[in-house]
Structure 1
Amino acid sequence: MVANGQRALPVELTSFVGRRKEISDVRRTLRRSRLVTVTGIAGVGKTRVAVKAAEGVRRAFADGVRFVELSSLTDPDRLAQVLARALEVPDMGAQAGEEGLAEYLADKELLLLLDTCEHMIGACSRLVRTLLAAAPGLRVLATSRQPLGAPGEHNLVIRPMAVPEPQERPSPEALARYESVALLLERITAVDPSFELTEENAGTVAELCRRLDGIPLALELAAVRARVLPVDAILRLIEERFWLGDEATESADPRHRTMQAAIAWSHAFCTEEERLLWKRLSVFPGQFDLAAAEAVCADDRLAVERVYPALDGLVAKSILVCVKGADRTVYRMLDSIREFGTAQMRDPEERRELLVRHRDHYFAVARAGASVEPGGDLAERWVRVRGEWPNLRSALEFCAADPAEAAVGAKMVLALEYLWIACGMSREGRHYAEWFVQVGRPDPVTRVRLLSLLSYILVAQGDLRAANGHLKECEAILATVDDPACRTRLVKIRGTVAVGEGDLAGAERHLTEAIELLGCHEGSDVTMLAAMVELGIARIWLGRIDEAAEVLEDCKKICLSSGQSWAGSWADVGLALVLRARGEPREKALTLLRDALRVQRRVHDASGASLCLELIAWLAAGHEDPMWVTRLLHASHGQWRQVRQPLFGSPNFLAEHARCEERLRRSLSRADYEEAAAEGSAMSMDEAIAHALGGVDDPLAAAPPRERRVPLTPREEDVARLIAEGLTNREIARRLMVGRRTVDTHVEHILAKLNFSARSQIAAWVIRHRAG
C-alpha cells in the first residue's frame, strides 16, 4: 500500500516556473507554525506552490506528507471521514469521525496538505483545531481562497506573478526574467516550438502579461491560442473581447474579474459542441474517462460520436487536463473552470437530468463489479471501482438529498457491498447503509438487505451487539415477508456473528445451512465463499481439522476458477491455520499468508491484512528473532487500534494472541520486549507489511542481527545524522521543524538504544555506518 496508501503529492503535468520566494516563504513559515494557509484568488497557483513546498520538506516528517483534495466534497459533516480514508486510517473500526482520526494521528510526525478548503471553512477550521491539539507532531498546510480562522494560523497570500511596468522597455533578456513572462513563454513554446522572444514582439508579450494581471491560469489559457495565432493577434482579441462585463465576471477584486474574464474568453473561443460539453462535464466532481463522458453528456443535442472530438478540443484549449495511464486515460477540470461550467447550467431540470445520468452510469459501474470475465480478477476490478469513489460518493449524495431517488440510492449501496466489505471502506458503507435505512424509507425486502449488510459491516468492526440488534429486526420483518434470498443471507450472517462470539457449534450449524441453501457449486457468490471460509475457521477451533481443510480447499478451487482472489486470500488464511494445527512445516503456511497479505494490501482490506500480520507472528514465534516477531505482533495490534474489538472480538483468536505474547515476553528482557513492542505499534500498515514480507523495503529485517537489537526509528536516524554534522539540538529542531523538547527526547533515546553517553559517540557511530 505504499503507492496506494501514501496519497502521493500530485504529479506535475507541466513544468513548474518561478515562485521561488513563495515556496521559500511557505517552508520557512512551516518551521515556526503548525498551521499555514496559502490563500489567493482563483487561478493564482496556490495548490502548485503548496505542493512544491511540501515536496521540499517531506524528509522532515517521519510519517511523510499526505495530500487531501477537498473540492469534490460537498458535505462538511463528511470531512473527517474523507480525511480518514485519504490517510489510510484502518477503516474497520466502529470509531469514526474526528475522535478516531485524532487518535490515529496522535503519535504521527506528518505534514497534512488540505487542498481547496474555501467551500467549507468552518468545518476545516474546527477539524484542524482538533487534530493539532491531539497530535503534537502534526503540521497542516492548507490552500484556500480565504484563511481558515483557526488559532495559531499563519496566512501566506500568493500574489499574481510579477509583470513589467507599462513605462518599462526592457530587453528580451531582461523581460524573460519576469515570472509572468517566463511562464507565458514556457507555455507558448509548448504549443509552438518555433516561437522566440525578440525585440519586435517583446512589447506585445509584456502587454499581454499586464492585461492578464500575471495570473498563471489566465496566462496558460491565453498561451494555448498561440497554437494557431501570433501573440499580437492574441493581444488584439483580448483587447476587443476580454472585458465583456457579463455576470460571470462580476467581482469586487479586479484580479478575480481578470481570471473570470480569461475563462469566459476561452469559453467564447470554444465551438458550440465544446461549450455544451464543458457545461455538462461540470457535474463530475473529479476525474472521469471517455466512457463516463459519453454516458453522461451525450444526447440528441450532442451525439455520442461527437463527445470525443469535443473532449479533445477542450484538452487542446487547456480547459481539461488529460492524464494518460498505462491502461486508461482520464480527464479532469480545475476547480475554477468547473465553477464556470456550473454557472452556465442555468436550467435546474437540465442539471438534474445530468445528475441522474451521472448516478446511473456509476450505478452501472458498481453493478458491473459483481462478476468477472473468465481468467479475470474480481479484486482488480474493484480496485478500479474504488478509484471512482469521488464520483460514487457524488451519486450517493444526490440520491440522499432527493427523496425521489432514495430507492435507487439504497440499491446502489447494496451493489457496492464488495467495496464496503473487502476494500477497506466499511466506514462509508456503514454511513450510507444507516442513512438509507433511517431516512430513505426502503421497502421491507430492501430494508432487510440493508440491515443484513449493516450487520456484516458491524461484525467486521467487532460490534457484535449492534449486529445482533439489526438481525432481530430482520427476523421480525421476514416473519411477514417471504423472501428466500434474504432469509438465506440472514442465516449466513447469524453464523458470522456466532464465529465472533465463540459459539462454534452455532456457527457451524448456521453456516452449513447457509451453504446448502446457497448451493455449493462452482460460482462466484461472495456470500457463499465467505460462509465457506468462516465454516472452515469454526471447524479449526472445534478441532475438526480435516473437515476444515476440505471446505477451505473447495472454497479455494472455486475462487481460482472464478477470479475471486480476495475471497481466495481468506481461504489461504484458513488453510494456513489448518497447516499450523496439523503441525506441518511452517514454510508453506507462511507462503500462504504472505500471498494473502499481498492481495489484502492491493484491495486495502485493513482487517484482512492485520489478521495476516498476526498469524505470521504466531508462526514465527520460537523460530525467528523474538525482537522481529514482537514488532510484527504489535504492528498487527496497532492496526486494530481503530477497531472496537481487535481480532473481531473472537475469544479463540484473542486467546492465541495472548499465548503468543506471553511466549515472546519469556524470550526477551522486559526492556527489549517493551522497545520492540513500541516500535511495532508505531509502524504504519505499509511498514508492517514490509516487515512481514521481509523484503528489501524492510530495513529491520535486512539489518544484521546485532544491529536489529538497537534499531533507530527513521526520525532518530535523521537526528543522529544531524548530530554527526555538528548541529546543536536547537539547530536540529529548526532543521526538522519540530520542538526543541522533541529533539532532546530523540537524543536521549538514541543514547539509550546505542548504550552511549556522549554526542561524539553518536557522530562516530553514524560515520561507521556510512562507511559500512
Structure 2
Amino acid sequence: MSTATTARGSPGNLPAEVTSFVGRRHELTGVRRMLATSRLVTLTGAGGVGKTRLAQRIGLDMRRAFADGVWLVELAELRDPDLVAVTVAEALGVREESVSSGAPGLVTFLADQQALLILDNCEHLVGACADLAETLLRSCPGLRILVTSRQALRIAGEATLTVHPLSVPDADEDCTPADLSRYESASLLVERATAVLPGFAVTEANCATISALCQALEGMPLAIELAVARLRVLTLDQILDRLTDRYKLLTSGARNAPARQQTLRALIDWSWDLCSEPERLLWSRLSVFSGGLELDAAEYVGADEKLPADAILDVVASLVEKSIIVRTGDGPRARYKMLEVIREYGAARLVAAGEQAGVARRHCDWFARLAAYGDTHWVSPDQAALMLRLRHEQANLRVALEYAVTAAAPGTALRFAADLQNHWFVRGFLSEGRHWLDRALAMPAPRHWTRVKALRVAGWIACVQSDPSRAETLLTEARSLAMTLPPSPELAFIPLIEGNIAMFGGDHAKALPLFEQALTRFRELGSLSGEMWTLAVLGLARGLADDDPTDGYPDLLACRDLAAANGEVWWRSFAMWALSVLRWMAGDLAGAAEAAKESLAVGKLVEDEQFSVGLSLESLGWVCATEQRDQRAAVLLGAAERVWQAMHASLASFHGLQDHHDEAVATIRARLGDRAFDAAFRRGSELSTAEALTMALERPAAPEVPAPRAAAAEPAATADTRLAELGLTRREREVITLIAQGLSNREIAARLVVAQRTAEGHVENILSKLGFTSRAQVAGWLAAQRDT
C-alpha cells in the first residue's frame, strides 16, 4: 500500500471535505489546546452530534504540526475486538503478524513517528481501543491520539470533550434573516438546503420556520441533514409539521433516554413511515451488510417470496431517492452505503421481525460463494477486478466469517476462510487470514478435504510469516488426514507447501523433488493455478540450488508465458522478480533490470499489491549497486525498505536473499560514505509506492522545473541563483540544502533554531514553488542542478 497524502501533499489518509464545515469554532480551539498538553483526547457525545466531522476537521487543520501525517481509522463497521489492532495497522499500511492488543508491528512503525491517529466510532469496542491506545502511547512518544466515542476510554492521561449539538435560536426570540447567521444549526440548515434547492434563500417569510426547525431538531447535525434531504418533496413547513407531530408521540417513551436521542429516533421513525412495505423490508435486510454493498448482493440477500429478486433494483432506486442509502464511488460497479445510524435502526427492525437469522445466513452464503468464485476463477483476465472487489468487501467478509465460525456448520467456515487464500496473501492480510483459519480449524473437525485445504492454507501463511514449526504442525495434520480420504485434486498441494517450507528454510535439495512431484500432479489435473504457482517457486529453487542460476530460467519463463496467455497477474509478476534475481546472480545485469521492471509493470495491475513491488525494487537496487550507480541503488533500497515496513515483512523469509541485501548495502555505503548513503536511502524511504514505481521504471517523476542553462564554472553558485530566480527566499534556499542532506523537519528546525511549524511552512513553500510533491523530488532536482 502506498503512503497516502492529503490534497495538499501532507502524509496521511484524511478524506477531502465534500461539503463545507459549519461552526464549531470553540470546539476546534479547545481540542487544539487539549492536544498540545494531552496525548489522548476523546470526543464524546450522542450519535449524530457530529463527532466524526469535527475530528476530521481538526486533523486537517493540524496536519502541518505532524510531520508523519494524520491518519483516520474508521471502526464503525468493525465488530470483532480482536481485529482492532489489525484494522488500525491496515489503515497505516502496516502488516501485523499477530492479532493481539500488543500490536508489535504498529509499535515498531510508530515508535519514532510524529503523527496524529484518529480512532473514529469506538463506543462498541471501548475495551480493545483503550488497550491499544495505552500500548501505543507508552511506546510511541511522538504519537497523539484523537478518539470519537459515545463513551470515554477511561485510561490514564485521557482528556475528554463533550460535543454538544449546534447552537439553536431561542424559542422566544423573533429572528430576522441576519440573526439566523449567528446560530450554527441555522447556518448548516441553510447551507444544505441551498445544495438541495439551488434557489433556496432565507427570507422574512421562512425565517421563523427555519428557526423552529432548528429548535425541533435540537441542533443535531445528522438530524438536520436528514430533514433537509426531504426538501426534494416537501416544503419547510411540511417538514416542521411532521416532525412536531412525531415528537409529540414520543412523550410517552423512555424517560431516561436523552431528549436528543428521542428526537433522532423520531426522525428515522418518520423516514420509516414514509417508506412502502417493500422499501421497509429491503431497508431492514440491507442492515446486515457492513461497509457497503453491490446490487447483486442485495438481490441475493434481500430477496424472498415477499420481495422477488427482480423487484430489488426498483426498490434500491427508491431507497436512494429517499436518502436511506446512497451510491458511493465512481468505479465500474455501482456501490451503495447506509449511514450507520440508519443501518442500526434497520437492524433493530430486522430483529423485531424475526428475520435476522435467515438474512444473516444468506449474507454469509453470498460472500462464501464470492470467495469460492474468486478461488476457482483466480486464473482469468478478471483477476485484478476480482481482487479489487474482494478488497472493497473486506468489512462484509468479516461479518460473514464471524457468522460462519459462530453459527454455520464447520465445513462452511473452513471452506470460506480457505477459499480466500489469494486475498490473504496478495493483499498482505496474512495475520487476519490466519485468525479466521485458526477459528475455523478449532471447530468440530469434519473428516473432509475441506479441512485439508484449510490446514495447508494456514500452513502456507505460517511459512510466509517465518513460523516453520507451526507450518510443519499444520501440514502434518493435513497429510495425515489426506491419507484416510478418497483421492482429490487437493492432494497435489501438500508437496507444494512442503517444498515451500523447505525452500524458505534454505533446503533447496529437499524442495526440488517436492515441487516436481506437485507439478506433475497439477498438469495431470489441468490445474493452471497450481501449475503456475509451482513453476514460479520451482524455477527460483532450481536457480538457487547450485552454481548455475540459469537452471531456473526455463520454469520461470514458462510460468510467465502461461500466466500471460490466461490473464493471470500475480504469479507472472512473482516469476519475473525471481528471474531478475537469477539473472543478476548470473551477471546479466541488463536482463535482470528488464525482468524486474516487467514484474513492476505487471504488478501494478493488481491494486495495492505490495509483495512483488518490494521484491523487484530490491533486485533493481542490487543491479544498480553492481553497475556502481550508487545514488540510485541507495534510493531503490530505501524505497524497498519502506514497502517491507508497510507489510511488516522482510527478505528474511527467503533464506539467503537477505545476505545479498546486506552485501549490497555494505558495498554502496563503502563507496558513498555514511552520510551520502543515509541521505539517499532516506530519500527512497520517503517515496510513495507510486513515486517509487515511476522512478524504478525510469520515467520522470514530475515535470522538470524550467531554469536557465548553467555556466559550468560555478555549479554551487549557479544552483543557488536558479533557486532565487524560481522565487525561493534566502531562508528557503537554506532549507532546501538541508532537505538534500536528508534532514527531517524536526532536524531542520533544530539546525536553524526555529519552531518546527516554521520549518514545515518553509518546506511546503519550497514544494509549491518548485512544483513537486515530495522531499525526495526536491533533493533529486537540486542534486541534478549541482551536477550540471
User: TM-score range with shorter-chain normalisation?
Assistant: 0.7 to 0.9
Could you say what secondary structure the match of 1:242 adopts? helix
Q: CA deviation at 1:62?
A: 2.5
Match of 2:249 in 1: 244
* Structure 2 CA distance for partners of 1:149 and 1:292, relative to 1, 3 Å: same
Write the deviation string for residues 417-469 of structure 1: whole angstroms up to 9, x where unpaired.
Answer: 11012221111111111111123523342222111111111221122232122
**Aligned in 2, Cα 1:316/1:219: closer, same or farther, shift over 3 Å?**
same
Q: Deviations over 1:453-505 (max 9, x none)?
A: 11111221122232122222222223333434233111111111121122222
Question: Which residue of 1 is the match for residue 2 of structure 2?
Answer: 2
Shift of 1:279: 1.1
In the other structure, the counterpart of 1:716 is 744
Aligned twin of 2:636: 632
- Cα separation, 2, equivalents of 1:340 and 1:248: 16
- Tell me the equivalent position of 2:583: 579
Letter in 1 for 2:274: F
Alignment-derived partner of residue 740 in structure 1:
none
Equivalent residue for 1:148, pick from 145, 153, 156: 153
Q: Which moved more, 1:428-437 or 1:167-176?
A: 167-176
The aligned counterpart of 1:131 is 136
Matched, 1:479 2:483: yes
Listed one character per residue, the Cα deviations across residues 378-413 of structure 1 (whole Å, up to 9, x for unaligned) are 1332122112100011100111112x4332111111
Alignment of 1:662-741 (within 5 A): 662-673=666-677, 692-693=696-697, 697=701, 711=739, 716-717=744-745, 720=748, 728-729=754-755
1:652 equivalent in alignment to 2:656: yes
Aligned with 1:302 (options 288, 299, 307)? 307
Post-superposition Cα deviations, 1:166-185, rounded to whole Å, max 9, x if no partner, equal: 22112212224422112222
**CA distance in 2: counterparts of 1:734 and 1:567, whole angstroms:** 43
Q: Partner letter of residue 437 of structure 1?
A: L
CA distance 1:408–1:160, change in 2 (3 Å)? same
**Is 1:64 paired with 2:92?**
no
Code of the residue aligned with 1:532 in structure 2: it is L
Following the alignment from structure 1 to structure 2, what is the Cα–Cα distance between the partners of residues 423 and 38? 33
Per-residue Cα deviation, 1:516-539 (whole angstroms, up to 9, x for no partner): 111079x77332211101111111
Mapped to 2, the partners of 1:699 and 1:152 lie a distance apart of 48
Tell me, in whole angstroms, the C-alpha distance in 2 between the residues paired with 1:719 and 1:359: 52
Residues 714, 30 of structure 1: alpha-carbon distance in 2 compared, 3 angstrom cutoff? farther
1:91 touches 1:642 (CA, 8 Å); kept in 2? no
The answer on 1:612 being equivalent to 2:616 is yes
- TM-score normalized by the length of structure 1: 0.87
More displaced stretch, 369-378 vs 563-572: 369-378
Q: CA deviation at 1:235?
A: 1.5
Q: Which residue of 2 aligns with 1:531?
A: 534
Q: Which residue of 2 aligns with 1:464?
A: 468
Q: Determine the C-alpha separation between the residues in 2 that align with 1:194 and 1:249.
A: 41
Contact 1:94–1:461, Cα closer than 8 Å, also in 2:
no
Are the counterparts in 2 of residues 40 and 144 from structure 1 also a CA contact under 8 Å?
yes
8 Å CA contact 2:678–2:742 kept in 1: the answer is no
Shift of 1:289: 1.7
Q: In 1, are the aligned partners of 2:449 and 2:488 still within 8 Å (CA)?
A: no
- Pick the aligned partner of 1:201 from 203, 206, 225: 206
**Contact 2:634/2:677 (<8 A) preserved:** yes
- Secondary structure of the structure 1 residue equivalent to 2:656: helix
> SS state of the match for residue 409, structure 2?
helix
Which residue number in structure 2 is paired with residue 288 of structure 1?
293
Query: In 2, Cα distance between the equivalents of 1:152 and 1:142?
Result: 13
Cα separation, partners in 2 of 1:272 and 1:248, compared to 1, 3 Å: farther
2:411 alignment partner AA: A
Q: Does 1:36 align with 2:64?
A: no
The alpha carbon displacement at 1:354 in A equals 0.4
- Matched-pair contact (CA < 8 Å) for 1:118–1:145: yes
Change (3 A) 1:728 1:99: same
Offset at 1:316?
A: 2.6
What is the SS of the residue equivalent to 1:163?
coil
Kindly indicate whether the alpha-carbon contact (under 8 Å) linking 1:407 and 1:440 is maintained by their aligned counterparts in 2.
Answer: no
**Relative to structure 2, which stretch is displaced further, 404-413 or 441-450?**
441-450
Give the match for residue 385 of structure 1. 390
Is the Cα–Cα contact under 8 Å of residues 92 and 642 in structure 1 kept in the other structure?
Answer: no
Amino acid at match of 1:68: V
Secondary structure at 1:621's aligned position in 2? helix
Matches within 5 A, 1:19-30: 19-30=24-35
* Structure 1 residues 672 and 7, CA gap change in structure 2 (3 angstroms): closer
**Paired residue total:** 736
Per the TM alignment, residue 581 of structure 1 is displaced from its structure 2 partner at its CA by 3.6
> Which residue does 1:511 correspond to in 2?
515
Contact map agreement 2:3 2:688 (CA 8 A) in 1: no
> Which shifted more, 186-195 or 152-161?
186-195
Alpha-carbon contact 1:691-1:698 (below 8 Å) kept: no
Match of 2:502 among 479, 493, 498: 498
1:585/1:672 CA distance change after superposition, 3 Å: closer
1:450 corresponds in structure 2 to: 454
- Counterpart for residue 729 of structure 2: none
Q: 1:81 to 1:272 in 2, by over 3 A?
A: same
Supply the distance in 1 between the matched residues of 2:94 and 2:454 (Cα, whole angstroms). 25
> Is 1-10 or 442-451 further displaced after alignment?
1-10
Q: Is the 8 A contact 1:250 1:257 kept in 2?
A: no
Number of the residue aligned with 2:177: 172
Kindly, what percent of the aligned residue pairs are identical?
A: 35
Corresponding position of 2:571: 567
Give the residue type in structure 2 aligned to 1:115: D
Distance 1:406 1:266, change over 3 A: same
Deviation at 1:280, TM superposition (A): 1.1
Matches within 5 A, 1:748-767: none
What residue number does 1:418 align with?
422
For the residue of structure 2 that corresponds to 1:356, the secondary structure is helix
Counterpart CA distance in 2 for 1:299 and 1:3 is: 44
Post-superposition offset of 1:683: 7.0
Contact 1:249 1:261 in 2 (8 A): no
The higher relative CO (CA closer than 8 Å, separation ≥ 6) is in: 1
Which secondary structure does the structure 2 equivalent of 1:336 belong to? Answer: helix
Query: Quick one: structure 1 residues 397 and 538, their matched pair in 2 at CA, closer, same or farther if it must change by over 3 Å?
Result: same
Match of 2:87 in 1: 82
The alpha-carbon deviation at position 288 of structure 1 amounts to: 0.9
Unpaired segments ≥5 residues, structure 1: 737-749, 755-765
Measure the CA separation in 2 of the matches of 1:574 and 1:618: 13
Q: Could you tell me how far 1:714 is from its partner in structure 2?
A: 8.4
Aligned residue type for 2:573: S
Of stretches 171-180 and 381-390 in structure 1, the one that deviates more from structure 2 is 171-180
Tell me how large the CA RMSD over aligned residues is: 3.6
What residue in structure 1 maps to residue 592 of structure 2? 589
- Which of 332, 336, 342 matches 1:331? 336
- 1:17-45 Cα shifts (integer Å, max 9, x gaps): 33333334333433332222122111111
Relative to structure 1, the CA distance from residue 730 to residue 287 in structure 2 (aligned partners, 3 Å threshold; closer, same or farther) is closer
Question: Aligned partners of 1:385 and 1:306: how far apart in 2?
Answer: 26
TM-score under structure 2 length normalisation = 0.85
Deviation at 1:351, TM superposition (A): 0.4
Which amino acid in the other structure matches residue 661 of structure 2? H
Q: Distance in 2 between matches of 1:728 and 1:673?
A: 27
Q: Residue 656 and residue 529 in structure 1: after superposition, are their counterparts in 2 closer, same or farther (change >3 A)?
A: same
Of 124, 141, 153, which residue of structure 2 is paired with 1:119?
A: 124
Closer, same or farther: CA 274–377 of 1 in aligned 2, 3 Å: closer
- Contact 1:635 1:683 (C-alpha < 8 Å) held by counterparts: yes
> Cα distance 1:39–1:81, how it changes in 2: closer, same or farther (>3 A)?
same
CA deviation digits over 1:738-762, x for unaligned, max 9? Answer: xxxxxxxxxxxx9xxx9xxxxxxxx
Equivalent residue, structure 2, for 1:263: 268
What residue is the counterpart of 2:543 in the other structure?
540
SS of corresponding position for 2:335: strand
